[in-house]
Structure 1
């Protein structure tokens, strides 16, 4: 045990050690380096970011952009802790609009790797390079900046051995770049891993949906509802995936706050509450949501990774997100074209005489039956009063009664699955009690097997009362009690 004479005195840590300690929070893995460098490029107004990765970032991470560049005299400052161009005074922290602002990333990265940065400031003719040793040399470079990180964590082997397999680290980088690509549409992302192209995404200011399709797939867009609502200083827009595109893991959940992807328990709770039982147990909803709010109402200076935030009026934010999502999810999603048919195949084995939908022909204003056997000629045009679908069929325009068409499709789907005994039964989270006449209950007990074949699970709990435990999955949003009574009346 040390005596008072040998006990160490308080002293200031060397800059390198301080930066390496900070790197423990800022730089967790190769993906953290990629994140910080992309954020710097975006803050520099880059419209093109080229990324080269080797060995999942362990050997090389190179990020090149065509942004504003860095002044020669600022290169040394860029490698020093808490040096930044994005803040000047403490009051600036109350309305942060840039991706980065803490001034920790570059010195932290430089302290745990073989680091090199080359930059040419817009409006100048010469480029300059700097390394870990603060040596500045002339270089050749277009307008913009390139940061090259070699042998990450070479100076602290203890951290390097805790990195996961190359595949795991690669997937983290891939997921990260997807997240950036979905929030910065004015920036192109061109990424290679071990020389193989990973992403080739050009800037798409006017084709936002196409970028979403490139990342999430066409099916996600087809099986989602669009959302665009505003209230006071809050604006929420994006896409909410329906149950058809739910996932076995939460890898397609993107929520952005003023362009920054975040994790927040209150936001997550609002989203879960809105989806409620719309997603099967064990599945996760898919969504791409953009939340815009006055920067003065949110604190992003919570964690060095800048992925956690605090809202000054969290109750208002929570309620706004919940009500906006709930309203969008309650709207009917119209999948005309081939998607609904390909998904359920309910028409594939039916004769054309059974494939009819109530419609009104607009030229003659007469009620007609439309033969849907040739689905390729049915073209969706517009929605009228949320009640009728305007569609083109064989050169004529029709008003299709949505409610009747949906009933027809659902009934045919159920009947086909009833015959093949493949109706999917969906348990009700909280079973519903239902009062019935004694005569109907006697009939129910006699024909319980056929009722279960229709996807219903009913249990008698009193002389005139049953408990509805399950219904067909396709009818999950129906009035449960009315549905059961109609079934028993029909039988």
Structure 2
């Protein structure tokens, strides 16, 4: 077949396939247009999962009647005019592709009215505006999605599945703008009604009040970026990432850099295979992020991805460091040590430390303590393991990793690009604990490596670190392996089950827990203590009933 130009209708349908994947894509594009128009109330009505009908109505500032035909044409937009505008875009839409893409694969009808003007309607296939009656704002109705693309329509899922995707999209949009009211109907039935409210109330409404009761507030402002939101404590984890929401400059995004930062922050407080719940809002100058990476605008590219990853990870680590029973100066204890048969003369409940004072040991595994709230149970091995781990980690982080000279230097075969990186990054690699020299086009010589690393593991680690530097311009391999080794050592040196502790030793352990960051979980992610309040005990024994 000779090369020929595609018909405009077919070209439009192909282009629409990148923007409109399923009914949820239509809702996303239309609601984002409403938000850009300053809407304060958005109502969404769908039928048959959105395949048969989607209607999005808002109270925004509307479209000028003369602009209605242009609104349905490709690459026509009111958001940007120049390349400089594209580099600093803050609106949710800007490509001028959404409405024409929807027109290419459905039967569309658009009604809009500006304040002080008359309402006008335009049909996607006709393109001639005509007057109608309508309140200020815009209403877009989409019928029979993919009616003219049978192969694409056959790939849509069942009605329930498509609606679940659509509902998830509405939830993300509602989380992005807590100050806007959202209403969602499906097949004539009210599904969601979110009034305009505070961000905290909106998150609690969508993710559950149980999560928000335990959630940890994140708020940090750097020189060029800021992060706010809520993250779940390690004990509130999930088997999937279904409750992780990231927003960059108000836009819901999926990004590997942000996921990597979260994994790094939770690396030693979560069980393997578990994921935290979180809602994070990252703000940075629009010039520092490329929102035009994909037509769906769900993927972004950061100009300084390593700085973003580090900032987010440090912010979350700072918030998680408060997951310990208490902080501040050592609490006052009277008497200093109590042996069996003695009694405490507690100064007052106000002076009582967060974990209180030890009462006894249970089966040589748990410490029973009394605090102002009631009864405290501590897994002494898990608690001691975290204390030792944090102590060793802090000692390591105070200095650089000095390479230990190998008795016999090891030659490692690498790619030419990786060998070139060794020459460029020699000082940086040395700070990571690797003394490398390029001795051939595709060979490097390892003269020194971290002292704790087994020699047979040196070639594997060198290749992994160089691959990280090539693809991501940073590497955390050495840090991750070192932390794994510290965790193993902490587990071996922590107090064992069945070991008898005196009350003085138990209280010393409680005080160390209060002064140690992240001491509410061991470094495997298990909880180290729990609280049973007097109210819980009264409820169990039915006191006062």
Distance 1:123 1:285, change over 3 A: same
Q: Specify the alignment match of 2:131 in structure 1.
A: 138
How far off is 1:435 after superposition? 11
Q: In 2, Cα distance between the equivalents of 1:406 and 1:477?
A: 23
Picking from 485, 488, 493, the partner of 1:432 is 488
Q: Specify the alignment match of 2:402 in structure 1.
A: none
Deviations 1:407-461 (A, max 9, x none): 999833999799xxxx9x99x9655237999xx99xx8xxx8x57xxxxxxxxxx
Picking from 368, 382, 393, the partner of 1:412 is 368
Answer whether contact 1:120 1:128 (CA < 8 A) is retained: no
How far off is 1:122 after superposition? 2.3
Deviations 1:365-410 (A, max 9, x none): x8135xxxxxxxxxxxxxxxxxxxxxxxxxxxx4542243799998
Q: Specify the alignment match of 1:176 in structure 2.
A: 169
Q: Specify the alignment match of 2:522 in structure 1.
A: 476
Distance 1:435 1:411, change over 3 A: closer
Deviations 1:210-262 (A, max 9, x none): 11110011111112110110111100010011123211211100010000011
Picking from 15, 22, 31, the partner of 2:8 is 15
Q: In 1, Cα distance between the equivalents of 2:133 and 2:68?
A: 16
How far off is 1:332 after superposition? 2.9
Distance 1:252 1:411, change over 3 A: same
Distance 1:132 1:331, change over 3 A: same
Distance 1:217 1:334, change over 3 A: farther
Residue 195 (str. 1) matches residue 188 (str. 2): yes
Distance 1:33 1:405, change over 3 A: farther
Picking from 34, 43, 47, the partner of 1:41 is 34
Distance 1:265 1:93, change over 3 A: same
Answer whether contact 2:234 2:521 (CA < 8 A) is retained: no
Aligned residues: 380
Distance 1:290 1:435, change over 3 A: closer
Distance 1:168 1:333, change over 3 A: farther
Q: In 2, Cα distance between the equivalents of 1:333 and 1:432?
A: 21
3-state secondary structure, aligned to 1:432: helix
Answer whether contact 2:120 2:129 (CA < 8 A) is retained: no
Q: Specify the alignment match of 2:470 in structure 1.
A: none
Distance 1:404 1:122, change over 3 A: same
Within-5 A mapping of 1:324-363: 324-332=315-323
Q: Specify the alignment match of 1:355 in structure 2.
A: none
Within-5 A mapping of 1:30-429: 30-204=23-197, 207-332=198-323, 367-368=347-348, 398-404=350-356, 411-412=367-368
How far off is 1:123 after superposition? 2.5
Q: In 2, Cα distance between the equivalents of 1:241 and 1:17?
A: 48
Distance 1:140 1:333, change over 3 A: farther
What TM-score comes out, normalization by structure 2 length? 0.64
Distance 1:182 1:165, change over 3 A: same
Distance 1:408 1:263, change over 3 A: farther
Residue 29 (str. 1) matches residue 22 (str. 2): yes
Distance 1:399 1:36, change over 3 A: farther
How far off is 1:183 after superposition? 1.1
Answer whether contact 1:228 1:238 (CA < 8 A) is retained: yes
How far off is 1:475 after superposition? 5.0
3-state secondary structure, aligned to 1:53: strand
Distance 1:42 1:334, change over 3 A: farther
Q: In 2, Cα distance between the equivalents of 1:215 and 1:406?
A: 40
Q: In 1, Cα distance between the equivalents of 2:71 and 2:89?
A: 19
How far off is 1:334 after superposition? 7.0
**Residue ranges of structure 1 left out of the alignment (5+ in a row):** 336-357, 360-365, 370-397, 452-472, 484-491
Structure possessing the higher relative contact order (Cα contacts under 8 Å, 6 or more residues apart):
2
Distance 1:319 1:406, change over 3 A: farther
3-state secondary structure, aligned to 1:279: coil
Answer whether contact 2:118 2:131 (CA < 8 A) is retained: no
3-state secondary structure, aligned to 1:182: helix
Distance 1:280 1:405, change over 3 A: farther
Task: Write 1 or 2 for the structure with the bigger share of strand.
Answer: 1
3-state secondary structure, aligned to 2:489: strand
Q: Specify the alignment match of 1:394 in structure 2.
A: none
**Residue ranges of structure 2 left out of the alignment (5+ in a row):** 327-343, 370-374, 387-482, 500-518, 530-545
